[in-house]
Structure 1
């Protein structure tokens, strides 16, 4: 396999590793912290390989306490929730630092401060495969580091699939879960899109393939009606949609690692819990589908919810497809608040 590269620019300026959990003072900008976990005993990955001294980069909001709200980010997201989900984070919102202790960590295998593929062992000369369950077990170690014993989980897109992994791996920790725009397992359609993206990366390593992978993904993150409403006409002499896709390809190339992209999409594709496993979950769960989502159609998201004995399903009506949870949340904050408080 042709060597894959890291990004030239990190997503967020990193602080030095900090093993002392902290919080932002009033008026202070939320800061990235880095915990070192699995120092005394290794994390055993599902592939059978042990990993010691794992870095997990994270942000916290609010006053530390034993019960927290854990936010799980999307595929190319970071732990800086204040940068990408202002509709849900803030005073009076579902993730309220004045009331709750909110935590978000960059996943194991990510490239925003946590241990990525280059930091992990290889298997057969290639990056060791990661699973969403590996990521949940790493996240559990971070919660122990922070003194957190119970969590409410809120995850969207990949974060929603990771929430399913938490429900299966750490049922003793999770009080409630909110899963937004995510299925219980990937369909052939979703796996096919990721396969095409990884093929582009491997065919053109060094950045060009990652740009194409992002373009493929962006087409699945919106809907035809969304593009018709926002990307018609010309922009700088080319079709607006062409300019849009090139812009997002360049933007991701500047901040993301193609090895992480391969690892994380592979972990999502490999996550295939059985109906029996899902029916055994007893955690109260809110599952939200998106009416125009072409990546994870609402019928597919609802089918996952139907397997959870204590789940309720709601649907966000938007023309903007999968990305509606970020760009057109509508009643989503109200739905999430009511569920977490209820």
Structure 2
């Protein structure tokens, strides 16, 4: 692993004013089925995706987090646009909603069941569907960028599609889930199963939000009582609001399927040492979900890995809300 010293954050870039593209939908595996790792054969899968820039044989594939969508311009605006890491004037950028998601792609309800339960999905399953999309778009080589679940999925791409990936950026993600991360997901899934119909999903989101920030972040952003509702702690109303928001837009079956897929992904150290392409791995100093020491330890296994650490009090979600020099680091790695 090559350690890289952090540089000061660059001056903020001006807001992007260009119009962004509309989502598109691909139909994949219509002529021949995809065999999932669980043994089920699936056909005619729907994948929702966005593209930015002019189609090329090389693409930058951006992989979203657990509850994300293909609308990259909505959730990572600091990275997309003129003069940014993903510049449509220079790059062909693809972002797709994953198989099992609920933002336009085929979800668990549309897949074959196993013993009366939703078919188990794996991150390699998701990567194979993504590869089929790229092939349909005429892409022959790809740079993969992902954060959080997207970062774990980037590891799956590196292992599943070594002939296709030329480099990767992994932000705030381990190569495999620790007992701590699996435990958090287990509690979230238990909440959903105990209270189906949306109430459990709200609780699952509250649990997740506690792991996405840090104690200092909440001390700064949610102090005191009664600011939103008299007599109620600010953190309580904040978590209730986050639960309501997710329940209004996300599917509990997708939450169950995708968190389980993350937990199942357990590549060995020998597999990681076999990854031969350059990989930039970024940890977050205050991340309690995926501690920086854990993220850095996986980077150290990669023969051509580079590690950087984002200093932020805002925990795991810093890659979204406090990116600082992260866009500059990613741009420098993708376009040396």
**TM-score, structure 2 as length reference:** 0.93
Give the structure 1 partner of residue 263 of structure 2. Answer: 269
Task: Determine if the alignment matches structure 1 residue 246 to structure 2 residue 237.
Answer: no
Match of 2:99 in 1: 108
Distance 2:223 2:99 in 1: 39
2:122 equivalent to 1:131: yes
Measure the CA separation in 2 of the matches of 1:145 and 1:28: 25
Q: 2:20 aligns with which of 23, 29, 40?
A: 29
Aligned residues: 317
CA-CA distance at 1:29 after TM superposition: 3.4
Paired residue for 2:252? 258
Aligned partner of residue 114 in structure 1, secondary structure:
coil
Which residue in the other structure is 2:168 paired with? 177
CA RMSD across the alignment: 0.9
- More divergent stretch after superposition (90-99 vs 248-257): 90-99
C-alpha deviation, 1:125, in angstroms: 0.6
Which of 74, 86, 89 is matched with 1:83 structurally?
74
Output one character per residue of 1:106-142: Cα deviation in whole Å (capped at 9) or x when no partner.
0000000000000100001100100000000000000
Q: What is the TM-score when the length of structure 1 is the normalising length?
A: 0.92
Residue number in structure 2 paired with 1:56: 47
Task: Tell me the residue number matched to 2:159.
Answer: 168
Q: CA deviation at 1:209?
A: 0.0
Q: For 1:75-124, what per-residue CA distance to the aligned partner results, in whole angstroms no more than 9, with x for missing partners?
A: 00000000000111111000111110010000000000000000100001
1:72 paired with 2:63, answer yes
Structure 1 residues 27 and 221, CA, compared in 2 at 3 Å: closer, same or farther?
closer
Rounded to whole Å, the distance in 2 between the matches of 1:170 and 1:94 is 23
* Structure 1 residue runs of 4 or more that deviate by more than 4 Å after TM superposition: none
Tell whether 2:187 aligns with 1:193: no
Question: Could you give the per-residue CA deviations for residues 175-213 of structure 1, whole angstroms, max 9, x where no partner exists?
Answer: 110000000000000000000000000000000000000
Where does structure 2 lack aligned partners over 5 or more consecutive residues?
1-16
